[in-house]
Structures are given as structure tokens and as C-alpha cells.
Structure 1
Amino acid sequence: MSKTLRYKMMDHRLTGILAGLLLLAILAGCSAKRHIIKSPLKEAKSTYLLEQLAENELQFDWFSAKFSIDYIYDKKLTEFRGQIRIQKDSIIWLSFSPALGIEMARLK
């Protein structure tokens, strides 16, 4: 078989696959709309809501997070990165690094 014949066969096969994928996408995208059934909200007592809040409260001894701040003043952009660490009922650390990861300030 010559190279041109092989390329034509591959071209036809590729065209068929692409046409099939396009048809599949069209059929999947044109499905009927599903209607959402909305039921009225049930009123809950305040004691129930407070109990649910207490059950889902974030429980921790230590908390640590990184943050990024973009500060614009007089059309100048300054970027800060930092880290916050909290020991429950004790201390809060804030660490700021404005550039190159070099620590600028630490608050305790």
C-alpha cells in the first residue's frame, strides 16, 4: 500500500471519529430540561439551629493558613504574602513577607 493511500485511509477514519464525537456532544447537549421541584422551607426553632451550629463548629487546638494580599495605593501594586498561626485561647502569630519570601514583620 502506498503512503498516500494510507494517509487517505487514516484521514477518513479520523474524520469519522471526529464526526461521531461531534454527534455525541450534540445529542448529549440537547437533552430535555429538568425542572427543579421547589418545596417550601420548613421553619426551625432557634434551639435546633443553635444545636446544629454547635455540632458543626470548627474544633481545633492549632490553626495555620497561608494568605496573599494585593494592595493598590496611588495606582501602585504591592503584593504581600504571609502566614497566620493560631493556638486556641492563647496566641495569634502573623508573619508578612512582601518580596522574595523575606520576612518583613512578625506579630505575636
Structure 2
Amino acid sequence: MHRLLIIILSIVLIASCRSTKKIQTAISKKDTSAKVVLQGVREDSMQYFRKMVSEINANRIQYNTFTSKVNIDYEGSDGKKYNINANIRMYRDSAIWISANALLGIEAMRVLITKDSVKLLNKLEKTYTARSVDYLQEITSLPLDLFTLQDIIIGNPVYIDPNVVAFSKKNNTITLLSIGNWFKNLATLDAGNNSLLHLKLDDVNIARNRTADLNYSEYENKKGFLFSTKRRVSVTEKTRLDIILDFKQYELNEQVSFPFSIPKNYDRN
């Protein structure tokens, strides 16, 4: 259960793992990829789309605190399906607190993530676990820290690099391919408002065969900003993980607290 929750916290948003042979064939090495995909593309056009990446980052949701209630459907590599409800609280650049409920509304897990640590209370098994923040990377095989995880939860773009090497515009969508230190990121955007529709992440190191899809849908603007209330997550490396997140309630800049006391009878891992 604790591994499931950490994975959910660490990815919170992705879908349908498909192979990316076309991308991997055209872009096998970062230092040669631009020559392959930029052939015949006008530099002024590329500057325009690089500018768009800057605008996307400038349109990130700004907040001090964030609270939400989210329903999570999860299917593991064993084919088993689970459903949990979670309460999430965040203080920007400081902490993420999550309380996850199992059947009958019983709290099963409480998690507190800071810049330096990950702490877990497994209330079903009465255990307490404390690790460094590197635990996020160990358990998810993704380059995660507190700041990236907060962006993922609130719906801000992640791993989009200014190094745009290809683009296309079709109907009402724009697709950008950028290459960063970790991922080749194929981002699909709504041409009308630059909201994210899909992120396809593939490891720059193709030997790892790590891939992830993040789908954003059912946007609404009830709080003065666009927010994706439905996200679908899929991550594959050695095993496959599928998650659907349905945000039922969310608020910005309300007062938050992070209760996290360790009962004396809990075993420490």
C-alpha cells in the first residue's frame, strides 16, 4: 500500500503507454537529434515555438497553498484494481501532506514530503517509515523532488525544455518536441489557450526503455485559472503502472496544516 501511494504522489497524471519507435529512431542521441528534426525548418519558426514554451511556463498556476480531494483508481502490473480517496495539502516549495482512505473511509496512510525527507504512517500495519527525499526517485525511477512533484499535482508542466527541436500545428492543437537532460518530451497543447492536453516522456537514455504518458482533460475555470480535473497516468519501465485521478474539490491559498504525529506503538522501519 505504501509503495502505491508514493507512486501516486510521485507521478499524479499520465496515460496509455505506447512505444515511441519513431521518436527513438529519429532521436537516438541528444547531440545529433536537432540536425535530424530541424532540417528544412525556418529558424524564425523555431524561435516562435521556443517563445511559446516560455509562455507556457509563464502561465503556470501560481499559489501559496493548495488543497484538494481526489479519487484515485489504480491498476498494477498484476492486473488488480484498487480505489482510494485522498486528501492533499501543499505549501509551495515547502511540504506535501496526503491522507489516503481505504474501504469504509478508514484512513490507511498518511504521508509528509518535504525538501529533505519522505515520512509515511501506515495506519493499517501500524508502521512508521522515514527516508530522504531521494526515496521518491528510488521507488518511481523518475527524477523527482518536492518541487517537481508539486507541479505534477497542481497540473503545471514538467520536463518541458526550451530546446525545441520539432513542432507541428494541426486543427486546434500544437505539438512540440523538446529535449532536456532527462527526457524527450512530446507535448500537445490546446492552440487556443496553451493548456496541456498530453505529455509523452521518453528517457534520453534509450537503454532504460522508460516511458510515461500524462493526459490532462476536463478542464474548468471556476477559481480564476484553468485546472484539469481528470488525469490519466501510465508509466512503464520494467513494469507498468496505470492511474486515473479525478479531482473532486480543490482550493488555493487557504490556511493549511500538516498533522503528523507518530504513535508510540508503531514499529519504525
| TM-score, L = length of structure 1 | 0.49
Larger-Rg structure: 1
Greater percentage in strand: 2
Q: Which structure carries more relative contact order (alpha carbon 8 Å, separation 6+)? A: 2
Greater percentage in helix: 1
| TM-score, L = length of structure 2 | 0.22
